[in-house]
Amino acid sequence: MRLSAPIHRLKRQARLLSRQDAIPLHLALDRIAASEGFSSWSLLAARAATTAPAGRLFQELAPGDLVLVGARPGHGKTLLSLELAVEAMKAGHRGVFFSLEYTERQMLDRFRAIGVEPGRFDGLFAFDSSDAICADHIVRRLASAARGTLAVVDYLQLLDQKRENPDLMAQVRALRSFARESGVILVFISQIDRSYDASRKPCPDIGDVRLPNPLDMSLFDKTCFLNDGEIRFQSVN
């Protein structure tokens, strides 16, 4: 059964329905699933997972990679990054999510939005929403992480929001060195500049990344950009 819209749009519809009807998000998700012909959101998400790109993208990643995932708000970059962490955990590796945007409860909701019960990966997943998130903090938290661990940083542009932290370039370089030495895969969620015009270009690219401070984009090994259900993945080097 073909969905009427990309899954990120259906999730957006559910969030709107949740607010409009003052119902819990999981009930709104089930209503949207019913409108698509599924008895529950988990079944719809499982169906979508069979064609989801995260599994294919994960196969392209190698220990020590730095990956940039970019999109405008609401186009699925956070969920895709979480799906990559889930793929790592399915393979027996740890998944870690560093976020300056989400609470732990919101992150658990994101798991359920992709049809995954968080308890399935008990002991493999860690969530960190500390105000101290920066390169040094990430390295300390991952100091004992095994090769193949996949960590998501949400999001790139907030790493140097505090004046006491090194500039963004220095932090990404430090994280690149750490990734190379440890074999940890680091996925950075990135904002896209507001000047990006989807009518002229169907998907953003590395030139559309919002950079309030200078950053050598060749520090990333791979990029993944999303827009309106389209996903473009490529190696940088």
Residue 235, strand partner residues: 222
pLDDT above 80: residue 52: no
Which two structure tokens, joined as six digits, stand for 171? 């932090």
- 187-228 per-position pLDDT tens digit: 999 999 999 999 999 999 999 999 989 999 999 999 999 998
Q: How far apart are CA 207 and CA 159, in angstroms?
A: 20
Q: Nearest 5°: CA angle at 91, between 85 and 97? A: 20
SS3 122: coil
pTM summary value: 0.81
Higher pLDDT, 36 or 64: 64
pLDDT at site 50:
54
Angle between helices 25-35 and 41-49 (to 10 degrees): 70
Q: What's the rounded mean pLDDT across residues 99-118?
A: 87
- Report domain extents, the chain: 7-49, 54-235
Question: What per-residue confidence (pLDDT) applies to 69?
Answer: 98
DSSP structure class, residue 222: E
Identify the helix (H) or strand (E) that includes residue 187.
strand 185-190
Structure tokens at 114: 């992709």
Residue 2: pLDDT above 70? no
> Which of helix, strand or coil describes residue 136?
helix
Q: Which residue has the tokens 């956070």?
A: 78
Per-residue confidence (pLDDT) for residue 223, from 0 to 100: 97
Chain centroid to CA 233: how far? 14
C-alpha distances in Å from residue 124, one per residue of 92, 152, 208: 8, 14, 34
Per-residue confidence (pLDDT) for residue 34, from 0 to 100: 94
> In this predicted structure, what is the pLDDT of residue 122?
84
Q: Is 224 helix (H, G, I), strand (E, B) or coil?
A: strand
Residues in the chain: 237
Output 173 or 2, whichever has higher pLDDT: 173
Question: Where do we find the tokens 């895709």?
Answer: 80
What is the phi/psi pair of residue 216, to 5°? -80, 105
What digits encode the pLDDT tens for the residues 111-165? 888 878 888 888 999 999 999 999 999 999 999 999 999 999 999 999 988 889 9
Residue 26 CB partners (closer than 8 Å, separation 6+): 41, 109, 112
Amino acid in position 45: A
- Alpha-helical runs (H) found in the chain: 7-21, 25-35, 41-49, 54-60, 77-90, 104-113, 135-141, 168-182
Q: Say what the pLDDT of residue 212 is.
A: 87
CA 215, distance to chain mean position in Å, is 20
Q: State phi, psi for 94 to the nearest 5 degrees.
A: -85, 150
CATH code at 54-235 = 3.40.50.300
Give the per-residue pLDDT at 203: 94
Q: What is the mean pLDDT of the chain?
A: 91
